[in-house]
Amino acid sequence: MYHNQAFGPTCMHSHRRKHHHHHPFKKFMHQMKTMADTPPANVEELDDRYVLSIYAPGFKREDFEIKLKDDTLLIQGKTTQEELENNQRWRRKEFGPQSFERYFQLNEKIDKSAISAKYEDGILSVVLLKMEGFESVSQQIEVH
């Protein structure tokens, strides 16, 4: 789990990994592989919006499913077995799109009724508008 100040805690998950039972090193290796198999995300803050970008080349627009439930944004990329249907036989296949899930915890700054997304050049961009009139409050706290 990662923490993102604009959104809150962030989780990622890869479908292809099996759970390792109570072995610390295996659990650590599982977490590292999950991170490596999960597409990276950037969050850019602009004056009026956040832009969440996920690097996911090789997908089609219809491969993505984006859901909002309460304060959690779920982004899924789902792959199919088209290569098997097309009678392709791989001797070695080290890259290609893999199914994934990413969860982002949203906060009160986001207008949840105005979320949009587009997929272009291998990058899924999700635009999250800030609530009008919502300004971040920041102050220096003096230590006594």
Task: List the pLDDT tens digit at each of the 144 positions of the chain.
Answer: 444 455 665 555 544 444 445 566 666 555 555 555 789 999 999 999 999 999 999 999 999 999 999 899 999 999 876 645 566 777 887 777 889 999 999 987 899 999 999 999 999 999 999 988 766 666 777 886
Domain that holds residue 77: 2-86+97-130
* 58 in a structural domain: yes
Give the CATH number for residue 108.
Answer: 2.60.40.790
Q: Is residue 73 part of a domain?
A: yes
DSSP 59-96: --GGGEEEEEETTEEEEEE----HHHHTT---S----S
| 137 within a domain of the structure (yes/no) | no
Could you tell me the pTM of the whole model? 0.67
Q: Is the dihedral of CA 26, 32, 37, 39 positive or negative?
A: positive
**Tally of structural domains, the chain:** 1
65 C-beta neighbours (distance < 10 Å), count: 11
Q: Which helix (H) or strand (E) holds 21?
A: none
